[in-house]
Structure 1
Amino acid sequence: MPGQDNLEVRTAKRTRARPATPAAKRAWADARLRPIRGEYPFASHFLELDGGVYMHYIDEGPSEAEALLFLHGNPTWSFAWRGAVRRLSKRYRCIAFDHVGCGLSDKPANYSYRLAAHIENARRLVLGLELERFSLVAHDWGGTIAMGLARRLPERVARIALANTAAFPFPRMPWRIAACRVPVLGKLAVRGLNAFARAATFMTVETPLHPTVKLGYLLPYDNYANRVAVAAFVDDIPMAPDHPSRGELEAIAHSLRRFQDRPIRLLWGMRDWCFTNAFLEEWVRIWPRAQVRRFEEAGHFVFEDAPERFAAELDDFLSGSTSAP
């Protein structure tokens, strides 16, 4: 009946217009995660940011314990930290969030997915959870964002653990990433064909991912709209001096030596074609006293190629050990 059809349309429009609530978001997340619950058994939480945008995070372990803040890169999400969180949440408060546009966080079409915005979102989470002191664990783009957060809240950062990342300008971009920035074709590949996220499930590891793990990485990026931040992160790599995020990156780079006396551990997959050994050497130049742990048989997703050792090295570092590798 025409009248019935119109009623259904009006009802659908009203439903979409209703503002989300944390309870509704949690119920949605539970349903979304059902296929991978065996790998990702954590309870979902949401922080409401400006404009009604919700950012997803997990908060595992004793609430009164030392806090660890995990920051993922692109095109991953907090799923990447599941192994470390399982082990470390026995003794630490483990908070792993999804950047806006990633994982189970909202993915607004019109949003500033610039470096500064991601840093501000991380700062809002720290303030919202009242974390007076925390240690950083970060990978890929998450390392840049983590050090941007550290620059804004230096007195709150206790220790720093970074894996295959950069927080300083670098001279060239790997061709496999540069290809994703080609006008029109790059966006078509990244958003239309999911080429970037799909490629990450095999180009970043030396050992093939289990099908359920592969599903876990791809789950949030299952359509064109949901890949908005995957493409935005690629576009936001500030290679040119006049890039909108170049000033932010340079400010972060200039602040790095401020942290050289903090406990720092660099965990590096040595078969990474993106963040190569040259990046590790630059980190060591900046932080000569940093503890370095090389994973000779691991690629960019070092936490997937060597999950048990990666979590153990973090545990060792956080316990205050300075033992040789």
Structure 2
Amino acid sequence: MSADWRPLYPFASHFLPIGGAQMHYLDEGTKSPGANEPLLMVHGNPTWSFYWRNLVIGLRDQNRCVVPDHIGCGLSDKPQQYNYYTFAQHIQNLIELIEKLDLRNITLLAHDWGGAIGMGAATKIPERFARIVLFNTGAFPPMYIPWRIAALRLPGFGKVAIQGFNVFARSAIHMATEKPERMTPEVQAGLLAPYDNWANRIANYRFVKNIPMTRRHPSGRKLAEIESSLWTFKDRPISLIWGMRDWCFNPRCLARFEQHWPNAEVHRLDDCGHYVIEDAHERIIPIVQRFLANHPLADG
């Protein structure tokens, strides 16, 4: 019997029909002072809204926190047709959520694939986004593919490894953190809970397949398009919070964002890895609170 993770996730679930499936999301702090300036927290692979739990708990008293699970992830539907899992479809799904909830004055908080998806949405509807906070992510074609991930793209092997043996999500528990003592049985169970069988791991596999090996790949073209628009956000309040021991979205990715956004405030957490929020949520919450306080919105 796995450890009980639910006490770590004390939130009400909400669902909306998005992109032809039911998307699960959290909507906490709707009556907070900052309810009209929502924090939109967008996860990557192989995480889900559970990854943001500590920030939601730490920020919801003063802010509205909207935290979706991508289709195929978390508590959202997991259809088995591949067309649900293109990079472009994930972006469109996020736009649809934003528009259905009529979110405005958004502060985007995004990690891993969430950065590319979140910035993809922001480039399409920039008038709805006011501030940006990114954690160990990319919004441009990858500069390199770590061999541990490239191996999972091998025909046959990757699908069996990820969907059959849950290699991607299980490995991340150990390889994405620099604070193994924080990966308690309950935290591990929570991170893995939605991905408990072959069918439920389809998005984990498709996200890996969406990593472009060349710019001819549909995701490569889309990422290049998003990068070409990053400069349009350079005058907005931006915070980059980075686990500097990340072997995937390593400091070179941070430097690339700094090239586009030279005025961004940067927080380098030298003792943290890819799961930077797991490694340092108690340091990150006050960083985000100060960032929001230092950059009030004109109509806030």
Instruction: Tell me what 1:267 maps to.
Output: 241
Mapped pair 1:150 → 2:119: no
Instruction: Tell me what 2:153 maps to.
Output: 181
Mapped pair 1:308 → 2:249: no
- Give the superposition deviation at 1:37: 2.1
Root-mean-square deviation (CA, aligned residues, Å) is 1.4
The secondary structure found in structure 2 opposite 1:38 is: helix
1:258, 1:321 → 2: CA distance? 18
Alignment-mate amino acid for residue 109 of structure 1: Q
2:19, 2:131 → 1: CA distance? 29
2:220, 2:36 → 1: CA distance? 37
Instruction: Tell me what 1:212 maps to.
Output: 186
Instruction: Tell me what 1:225 maps to.
Output: 199
Matches within 5 A, 1:157-306: 157-208=129-180, 209-306=183-280
Q: Is the 8 A contact 1:65 1:91 kept in 2?
A: no
Instruction: Tell me what 1:18 maps to.
Output: none
Instruction: Tell me what 1:23 maps to.
Output: none
Mapped pair 1:81 → 2:49: no
Q: Give structure 1 stretches of 5+ with no counterpart.
A: 1-33
Instruction: Tell me what 1:58 maps to.
Output: 26
Mapped pair 1:319 → 2:293: yes
Provide the identity percentage: 52
Larger radius of gyration: 1
How many residue pairs end up in the alignment? 288
1:170, 1:221 → 2: CA distance? 26
Alignment-mate amino acid for residue 259 of structure 1: F
Alignment-mate amino acid for residue 152 of structure 2: C
Q: Is the 8 A contact 2:78 2:200 kept in 1?
A: yes
The secondary structure found in structure 2 opposite 1:280 is: helix
The secondary structure found in structure 2 opposite 1:149 is: helix
Alignment-mate amino acid for residue 69 of structure 1: L
1:101, 1:211 → 2: CA distance? 24
Q: Is the 8 A contact 1:36 1:216 kept in 2?
A: yes
Q: Give structure 2 stretches of 5+ with no counterpart.
A: none
The secondary structure found in structure 1 opposite 2:195 is: coil
1:251, 1:50 → 2: CA distance? 22
The secondary structure found in structure 2 opposite 1:294 is: strand
The secondary structure found in structure 1 opposite 2:7 is: coil
Instruction: Tell me what 1:101 maps to.
Output: 72
- Give the superposition deviation at 1:240: 1.1
Residues 113-144 of structure 1 deviation map (CA, whole Å, 9 limit, x = unaligned): 11110010000100110112211000000000
Residues 209-264 of structure 1 deviation map (CA, whole Å, 9 limit, x = unaligned): 11100100000000000000000000001221221222211110100000000000
The secondary structure found in structure 1 opposite 2:132 is: strand
1:238, 1:129 → 2: CA distance? 31
Instruction: Flag as ranges the 4+ runs of structure 1 deviating above 6 A.
Output: none
Q: From the superposition, tell whether residues 171 and 232 of structure 1 become closer, same or farther in structure 2 (CA, over 3 Å).
A: same
- Give the superposition deviation at 1:50: 4.1
**Please, which moves more after superposition, 253-262 or 241-250?**
241-250
- Give the superposition deviation at 1:111: 3.8
Alignment-mate amino acid for residue 61 of structure 2: K
Alignment-mate amino acid for residue 265 of structure 1: S
Match of 2:96 among 124, 136, 144: 124
2:197, 2:294 → 1: CA distance? 44
The secondary structure found in structure 2 opposite 1:262 is: coil
Mapped pair 1:91 → 2:62: yes
TM-score normalised to the size of structure 2? 0.93
The structure showing larger relative contact order (alpha-carbon pairs under 8 Å, at least 6 residues apart) is 2
- Give the superposition deviation at 1:171: 2.8
Residues 10-52 of structure 1 deviation map (CA, whole Å, 9 limit, x = unaligned): xxxxxxxxxxxxxxxxxxxxxxxx932210000000011243x
2:280, 2:290 → 1: CA distance? 15
Q: From the superposition, tell whether residues 93 and 241 of structure 1 become closer, same or farther in structure 2 (CA, over 3 Å).
A: same
2:190, 2:126 → 1: CA distance? 33
- Give the superposition deviation at 1:321: 6.3
Which structure shows the bigger proportion of residues in strand conformation?
2
TM-score normalised to the size of structure 1? 0.86
1:65, 1:86 → 2: CA distance? 18
